[in-house]
Amino acid sequence: MKKIKITIITIFTAMTLAFGIGSLAKVKANDDPWILDQDGYYYFNWNIITAVHSSKSFSFTLNNFENFTFEYRVESYPNPGSWISLNLENNDELKIERLVGQSGSARKIYVNGTTKITEQTYPLTIRYKEIPFESRWELDQDGYYNFIWIFNNTFTLTDMNFSEFDFEYYHTDTGWKELKIGNLNTLKVDSVLSSSGNITEKIYIDDEVKATAYRGPSGGVQTSLGLRYKPNNISRFNLGEDGYNYFHWLWNDKYTIDWDNDDYLFEYKETGGIWTILEVDSTTKIRLEQATPTNGQYTTRKIFLDGVLYLEGKAGNVPDSNIIEFRYIDIDEIDDPDPIDPDPEVPEGYRIAIDGEENFVTNYDDPKPVEFFQAFLIAFDETDGDISDEIYIKTNDYTENMAVLGAHKVVFAVKDSNENETTLEVYIRVVDITAPVITGNTSQVNIGYKETWNINNFKNTLNVTDNHDDSVSLKAAITIESDGYTANITTLGTYDVVFAVEDQSGNIGTFTKTIKVIDNVAPTFSGPTSLTSNISVTFTESDVRNQLTAYDEKEGNVTHRIEVDEDNYTGKGHNTGIYTIKYRVTDTAGNEAFHTVTINRRDDIPPVFYIKDGVSIVTDTSTPLTIDDIINILTNTGQVVIPVGVNAMFSVQYDDYTGNEDQVGVYTVVIDSELTNGDESTHTMSINVLESSDGIPVDGPETFFQKYKGVIIAGVILLVVAIGYVYFKKPNRKRRY
């Protein structure tokens, strides 16, 4: 039995529970949604959706409803109604609902949101039962398993070794006929009973209808279908006279070899080829497949190693037809791995030549004389021994055709001392293995994303040379093998366009042109070009910059990249006059834009007195201070006031104290503060480091003062006010050192 995940939904809550449909364990009527009865059916337990002046529902979906029969009936009195199938298909949603109101109650069944039945008078019973595979077939006296049809039901078989069985279907008009089905196919059978009592039966192979029957009270030709199978006992390997086991290929078939491969030698052969050892290790899974398309024009055979395609061949109405054969032999049955016992007097590395089956290959660009190939031959006689020196050329179609592509026959011959002659017919194949060469401008193209590079115009500038074929015809045959540019004309990046040309021997030459789509469009500024302010108001360069924005078509908002290019204002803002600040923004591609703001400073305040800023901090060598300690002094003594909701950033401009905390002396620390409200200030502090009170380094446990020096800062004197250091939370501050 299967396990189904069920969701119970109410108006107020939702809960999920998993249950095993096939569990025979005793269940509580109020806990489990289905109760197993002695008739083998599971009956829906309405108690789980008991409702009081509300509605509750129970819903779920399955991807294999085809394996179950769901039915319902109205428990009318005195005679209950008939069981009615819900005709559920895979992935349908079944919903059961109970509604209770002041005026009465109702029970409902929905399929995919559509109401199947609403019952307000009598109880409504719902049940299901799993349809096991075995129960769909019945063995008859002829050894056939006959399919059992069930109304309003779909039955599917897939991933089955169909090739091991003979399937047949019956139709009233034709009788029993073969149903051709391979291991790669899917078999589906369905039967539909309409509300008018008409029955439609169909058999599918991969969703293609193979047979249809119809019968019922509506009249017309009455037909019926049958389906059956029996094992065919087909052997997948046939033993040959040479001791090899030859694979029996079947139509639309797949077969997996999952053996201990160390015990066997596997070989394959293609049309016109020789048997070749299939190199596998002990755990490699070999899968053999054969498939024929519906048009029947050709057959494809494939060999997979661990799921990866190793070899493929097509035979039939296709060019270059190639059929693959497969065989194996038990290594223990091989007397000697070498099928030819070498003569003790024959040098190692030689084998017996096969007349008419030997082929030599020579390069068109470097053809070898016929004597070069003769040197690969030796000859032995049982009486005369080694007679290799007696080998001669009997016929030679090669020498005059060394510059002609193709296979040319040469017959070598040798005679023993008794004039017994043996001939060996070989073929010397002149091949062109040199690919055409495409030449052209190899420089990278840099082009803006608002421009278009013409591929075809560039292709026309390419030239081709080849060692054999005509260059003019090859130039006209140049194709675009791949184009990574066209689909990315407006997308920044580097792309390749590969041009290719193939000569008559199948050699392919390529030429790659690299195109870089660049951003050559500068960003744009937005903001004022002139500003007027009074010298009584602090007005910094940051205030000007905060009024500017910059936008780039590719990068979007680049305001954060705005920087000062030329500043004629900073340091002069306390004086009246007209000043300029020139800003620059640069995108990541290096495109620059400039924006100049003119600042008019007006005098509106009388003169004021200023006193020089200065801070003196006294500590000793046993109580070193950190930069955080010094910043806390600035904020706790009111030298830097941070309003609520404003953030501060501190940066150290000068510091000759850090690193000298244990050295007596006077040091200087300069710290800049910048507030997000635009206030800026610089603070210069002197730090006077005195000798420790006892002057003697102390080992041992850390003192209370040393342990909490971060919160107790002693000896702080600011101007004329002695401030005690007290730690309390300040607005957010960002520190930059």
- Residue 103: the pLDDT is 67
* 322 SS3 class: coil
Please write down the long-range contacts of 247-251, taking CB distance under 8 Å and 24 or more positions apart. Answer: 247/288, 247/325, 247/326, 247/327, 249/288, 249/290, 249/301, 250/163, 250/182, 250/183, 250/290, 251/163, 251/180, 251/182, 251/290, 251/292
In angstroms, the CA 324 to CA 227 distance is 34
Contact (Cβ atoms closer than 8 angstroms) between residue 360 and residue 373: yes
Q: Calculate what percentage of the chain has a pLDDT beyond 70.
A: 84
- Whether residue 405 is predicted with pLDDT greater than 60 in this model: the reply is yes
Lowest-confidence pick of 481-495, 536-550, 713-727: 713-727
The burial of 50, by beta-carbon neighbours within 10 Å (0-12 exposed, 13-18 middle, 19 or more buried), is given as exposed
561's CB contacts (< 8 A; 6+ apart) are: 523, 550, 585, 586, 587
431, 457, 491 - which closes a domain: 431
- Tell me, yes or no, whether 294 lies in a domain: yes
Whole-number Cα distances in Å, 125 to 32, 69, 80: 16, 14, 10
In angstroms, the CA 661 to CA 689 distance is 7
- Residue 25 and residue 124 share a domain: yes
- Residue 257 and residue 165 share a domain: no
Tokens read off for 512: 């790659």
Lowest-confidence pick of 256-260, 508-512, 588-592, 668-672: 256-260
Per-residue pLDDT band at 607 (split at 50, 70, 90): low
Phi-psi region of 40 (alpha: psi -120 to 50; beta: other; left: phi over 0): left
Looking at 334-405, which runs of residues are DSSP E strands? 358-363, 380-381, 385-386, 392-396
Looking at 442-591, which runs of residues are DSSP E strands? 445-448, 463-465, 479-483, 493-502, 508-518, 524-526, 530-534, 549-552, 556-557, 563-567, 577-586
130, 149, 172 - which closes a domain: 130
In angstroms, the CA 359 to CA 373 distance is 10
Tokens read off for 211: 């047979």
In angstroms, the CA 478 to CA 463 distance is 9
User: What integer is the mean pLDDT of 175-189?
Assistant: 87
Per-residue pLDDT band at 602 (split at 50, 70, 90): very high
Tokens read off for 201: 């039966």
The b-or-e profile of 643-667 (16+ CB within 10 A means b, else e) is eeeeebebebeebebbeebeeeeeb
- Whether residue 720 is predicted with pLDDT greater than 60 in this model: the reply is no
CATH number, position 371: 2.60.40.10
In angstroms, the CA 733 to CA 737 distance is 13
- Residue 124 and residue 43 share a domain: yes
Q: Which of 329-338, 565-574, 609-618 has the highest mean pLDDT?
A: 565-574
Contact (Cβ atoms closer than 8 angstroms) between residue 597 and residue 544: yes
127-161 residue pLDDT tens: 988 776 556 788 777 778 888 887 777 888 876 77
Looking at 38-186, which runs of residues are DSSP E strands? 42-44, 55-61, 68-74, 84-85, 93-101, 104-111, 114-119, 124-130, 137-139, 145-147, 153-157, 165-171, 175-178
Q: Between these two residues, 307 and 320, which has the higher pLDDT value?
A: 307
- Residue 598 and residue 652 share a domain: no
184-236 residue pLDDT tens: 788 899 888 777 778 889 999 988 999 999 888 777 788 889 999 888 777 78
Dihedral angle of Cα 464, 465, 468, 473, to the nearest 10 degrees: 30
- Tell me, yes or no, whether 696 lies in a domain: yes
- Tell me, yes or no, whether 20 lies in a domain: yes
- Whether residue 558 is predicted with pLDDT greater than 90 in this model: the reply is yes
| Strand arrangement, sheet containing 421-431 | 358-363, 421-431, 406-415, 392-396
User: What integer is the mean pLDDT of 391-419?
Assistant: 92
In angstroms, the CA 385 to CA 736 distance is 96
Tokens read off for 437: 């060469």
∠ Cα 64 69 75 (to 5°): 140
Average pLDDT, the chain: 81
The owner of tokens 């500068």 is 522
- Tell me, yes or no, whether 306 lies in a domain: yes
- DSSP secondary structure letter of residue 74: E
In angstroms, the CA 478 to CA 500 distance is 6
- Tell me, yes or no, whether 352 lies in a domain: no
- Whether residue 555 is predicted with pLDDT greater than 80 in this model: the reply is yes
**What's the predicted TM-score (pTM) here?**
0.35
Nearest in space to 228 (alpha carbons), one of 289, 159, 178: 178
- Residue 218 and residue 287 share a domain: no
- Residue 647 and residue 592 share a domain: no
Tokens read off for 8: 């119970």
User: What integer is the mean pLDDT of 275-287?
Assistant: 90
- Tell me, yes or no, whether 610 lies in a domain: no
- Tell me, yes or no, whether 343 lies in a domain: no
Phi-psi region of 285 (alpha: psi -120 to 50; beta: other; left: phi over 0): beta
- Residue 421 and residue 321 share a domain: no
- Residue 637 and residue 553 share a domain: no
414-469 residue pLDDT tens: 998 888 889 999 999 999 889 999 999 999 999 999 999 999 999 999 999 999 89
44-89 residue pLDDT tens: 988 888 755 567 888 878 777 777 889 999 998 888 899 998 888 8
Tokens read off for 394: 């009997």
- Residue 583 and residue 564 share a domain: yes
Lowest-confidence pick of 6-20, 145-159, 252-266, 418-432: 6-20
215, 231, 247 - which closes a domain: 231
- How many independent structural domains does the chain possess? 7
Tokens read off for 183: 């291991």
- Residue 63 and residue 180 share a domain: no
- Residue 734: the pLDDT is 52
- Residue 184 and residue 141 share a domain: yes
- Residue 419 and residue 404 share a domain: yes
CB atoms inside a 10 Å sphere around CB 154? 19
| Alpha helices by DSSP H, 460-524 | 471-476
Looking at 92-147, which runs of residues are DSSP E strands? 93-101, 104-111, 114-119, 124-130, 137-139, 145-147
- Tell me, yes or no, whether 222 lies in a domain: yes
In angstroms, the CA 228 to CA 7 distance is 40
User: What integer is the mean pLDDT of 726-736?
Assistant: 44
- Residue 20: the pLDDT is 29
- Residue 489: the pLDDT is 93
- Residue 52: the pLDDT is 57
Contact (Cβ atoms closer than 8 angstroms) between residue 328 and residue 317: no
The owner of tokens 């309409």 is 194
Full domain range(s) for residue 568: 524-602
- Residue 157: the pLDDT is 82
